[in-house]
């Protein structure tokens, strides 16, 4: 989301001392001159239209229209739905009862205990782990299963449970009306490993689940065990109240989201499609954006798109030999030059009209109360002006590392290897480049650019080049023998196209919007529809939903959390108790509302 203070105003043309005074006078009277001009022009066209030919009259009328057009108008931009509260007496009553429970010390103690106990299980997942059953590190996921069964007995009595690929969890709370499409609430059981070297720097031990009176501490507190615990606690509470859904609720809990979901969500996605069919679900809610104050207004930013992903391997080979008789470049030297060439040629950062990052900015311009006028004007004008779009890029996107990473395709050299002995020339050296692909681009476009980025350099170094199976520089390109070879290929085979975009108009988006607004209001004792605004959002990474694209068009990546999460993937991860309780309120509101909406 746009952060305050990045841009103060649009640049203004400089003026010399000889013209500065005249310019001030011009600016002082310019609005009045324009008003008079527009009035005279409009009167002329109106009174003389019978005497003007049609073409000339049309041009005058267009000019009048432009005179009266307000380029800062926010009409039709980031249109908002109203707050959505349960309407039936049954649903309104249970929703109110749960809301009252959230205020009690007894329920808050219960909620703390449920999350704390879950945090105390070190369910870490690591990159490139073999399948379950082949690595004992998976066994902590079994501890998670045992804990959930003990902590939420009503859920395990009332819901059916299927375990997929040993540790993936699929629960079904079967509704009373089979004609209604079900929906999925997703979360993941695993956490990022804690670096042993950092344990002493934690305020409270990473797997303590310690509650200090305000915050609950530990790995997974924010990512993503608070959501998992909140979902289970919500269902346990509703069951305890005797409430049952009309619309079937499905829970999907992966176990290796932090290592790309290769064994967890991928298996869950296949099982869900086999059991329920393609496009069988009304919507999915998984982890993602939250809400925060921006430019004097509070915005919720559910993720409605995701960037693509590829890892590109750069292999360089050349003859070995004794290091006492080295050539001008070893394979490591060649590789270093190629890496430098990549970094000298980053992908262009171009904000695309209608893209999610652009629409996020439009929402900030439309509803932000303190957004600088110059920035607001440029953003709104960028709807139809390429020049204004370039201004937004220059003044806001490019200086903002996070936002520019969101907009463009990124490249990061993350792994490098080569050489086995100090006195032996390395026959090979390699590097891995990670790309997060712009939502407006593709894997094909990215790989093609990578090959052409280094082609000229490879040729100048007398190297042959094969990029993803295509000989860009064959051996025949040189009169004499080439000095080495460069191979570009896809590493690990985890590549992913940019995700299909979730619609941000229609009943599903309005349902989520209304649910978020009702939750926000209820948690603060507020009324009205505009205490929090909805904005399309996206993150720079991917969630387990990468494997759920076939299940629904409506994937909302959203944690109803206030502000940026603390300590995610690093030391001192924690979540405020009040934020955690509001997540419980959100899932309660969503589940009850879902029974009343006719999608």
The annotation status of 523 as a binding-site residue, yes or no, is: no
Burial annotation 5-19 (CB, 10 A radius, 16+ → b, else e):
eebeebeeeeeeeee
The annotation status of 329 as a binding-site residue, yes or no, is: no
Q: Give the Cα separation of 152 and 45 in Å (integer).
A: 75
Location of structure tokens 């980031």: 78
Q: Give the Cα separation of 48 and 56 in Å (integer).
A: 11
The annotation status of 510 as a binding-site residue, yes or no, is: no
The reply to whether 414 belongs to the active site is no
Q: Give the Cα separation of 81 and 302 in Å (integer).
A: 15
The annotation status of 286 as a binding-site residue, yes or no, is: yes
> Which 3 state secondary structure label does DSSP give 291?
strand
Listed residue (8, 263, 30) closest to 135, CA to CA: 263
Cα 100 versus chain centre, distance:
33
Residue 53 class from Cβ within 10 Å (0-12 exposed, 13-18 middle, 19+ buried)?
exposed
* CA atoms lying within 13 Å on the CB side of residue 320: 12
What torsion, rounded to 10 degrees, do the Cα atoms 220, 221, 227, 232 define?
A: 90
The annotation status of 212 as a binding-site residue, yes or no, is: no
- Catalytic residue selected from 236, 256, 257, 595: 257
Burial annotation 238-251 (CB, 10 A radius, 16+ → b, else e):
bbeeebebebbbbb
The reply to whether 257 belongs to the active site is yes
Residue 488 class from Cβ within 10 Å (0-12 exposed, 13-18 middle, 19+ buried)?
buried
Cβ neighbours for 402, distance < 8 A, ≥ 6 positions apart: 540
Token pair listed for 341: 């060439």
Token pair listed for 111: 């909620």
* C-alpha R_g of the chain: 29
Q: Across the strands, what pairs with 317? A: 428, 485
Listed residue (260, 306, 308, 539) closest to 443, CA to CA: 308
Q: Give the Cα separation of 454 and 595 in Å (integer).
A: 56
- Catalytic residue selected from 124, 190, 282, 595: 190
Binding-site positions read 188, 223, 258, 286, 569
Residues making up the binding site for Zn(2+): 188, 223, 258, 286, 569
Q: Which residues are catalytic?
A: 190, 257
């Amino acid at each position: 989301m746009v952060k305050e203070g990045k841009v103060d105003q649009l640049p203004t043309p400089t003026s010399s001392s000889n013209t500065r005074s005249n310019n001030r006078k011009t600016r002082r009277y310019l609005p009045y001159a324009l008003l008079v001009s527009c009035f005279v022009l409009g009167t002329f066209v109106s009174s003389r239209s019978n005497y003007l030919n049609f073409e000339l009259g049309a041009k005058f009328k267009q000019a009048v229209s432009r005179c009266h057009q307000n380029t800062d108008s926010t009409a039709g931009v980031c249109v908002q739905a109203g707050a959505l509260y349960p309407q039936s007496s049954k649903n309104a009553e249970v929703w109110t009862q749960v809301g009252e429970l959230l205020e009690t010390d007894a329920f808050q103690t219960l909620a703390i205990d449920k999350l704390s106990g879950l945090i105390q299980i070190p369910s870490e997942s690591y990159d490139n782990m073999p399948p379950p059953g082949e690595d004992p590190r998976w066994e902590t996921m079994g501890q998670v299963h045992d804990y959930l069964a003990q902590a939420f007995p009503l859920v395990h009595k009332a819901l059916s449970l299927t375990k997929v690929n040993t540790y993936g969890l699929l629960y079904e709370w079967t509704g009373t009306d089979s004609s209604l499409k079900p929906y999925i609430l997703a979360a993941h059981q695993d956490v990022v490993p804690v670096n042993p070297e950092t344990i002493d720097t934690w305020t409270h031990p990473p797997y303590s689940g310690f509650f200090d009176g305000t915050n609950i501490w530990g790995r997974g507190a924010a990512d993503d065990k608070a959501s998992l615990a909140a979902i289970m606690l919500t269902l346990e509470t509703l069951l305890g109240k005797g409430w049952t859904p009309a619309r079937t609720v499905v829970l999907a809990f992966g176990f290796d989201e932090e290592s790309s979901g290769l064994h967890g969500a991928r298996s869950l996605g296949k099982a869900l499609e086999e059991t329920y069919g393609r496009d069988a679900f009304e919507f999915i809610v998984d982890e993602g954006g939250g809400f925060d104050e921006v430019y004097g207004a509070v915005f919720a930013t559910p993720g409605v798109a995701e960037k693509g992903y590829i890892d590109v391997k750069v292999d360089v080979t050349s003859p070995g030999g004794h290091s006492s008789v080295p050539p001008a470049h070893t394979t490591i030297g060649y590789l270093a030059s190629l890496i430098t060439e990549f970094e000298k040629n980053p992908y262009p950062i171009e904000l695309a009209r209608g893209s999610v990052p652009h629409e996020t900015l439009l929402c900030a311009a439309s509803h932000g109360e303190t957004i600088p006028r110059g920035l607001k004007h440029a953003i709104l004008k960028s709807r139809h002006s390429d020049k204004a779009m370039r201004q937004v890029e220059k003044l806001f996107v490019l200086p903002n590392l996070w936002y520019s990473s969101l907009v463009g395709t990124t490249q990061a050299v993350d792994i490098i290897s080569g050489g086995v002995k100090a006195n032996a020339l390395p026959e090979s050296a390699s590097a891995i480049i990670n790309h997060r692909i712009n939502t407006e681009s593709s894997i094909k476009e990215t790989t093609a650019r990578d090959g052409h980025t280094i082609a000229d350099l490879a040729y100048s170094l007398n190297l042959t080049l094969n990029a993803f199976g295509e000989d860009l520089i064959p051996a025949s390109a040189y009169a004499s023998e080439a000095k080495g070879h460069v191979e570009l290929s896809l590493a690990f085979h985890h590549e992913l196209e940019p995700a299909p975009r979730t619609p941000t108009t229609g009943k599903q988006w309005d349902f989520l919007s209304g649910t978020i607004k009702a939750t926000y209001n209820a948690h603060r004792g507020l009324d009205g529809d505009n205490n929090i605004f909805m904005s399309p959002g996206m993150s720079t990474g991917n969630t387990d939903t990468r494997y759920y694209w076939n299940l629904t068009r409506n994937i909302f990546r959203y944690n109803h959390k206030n502000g940026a999460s603390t300590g995610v993937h690093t030391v001192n991860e924690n979540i405020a108790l009040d934020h955690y309780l509001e997540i419980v309120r959100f899932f309660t509101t969503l589940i009850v509302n879902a029974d009343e909406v006719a999608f």
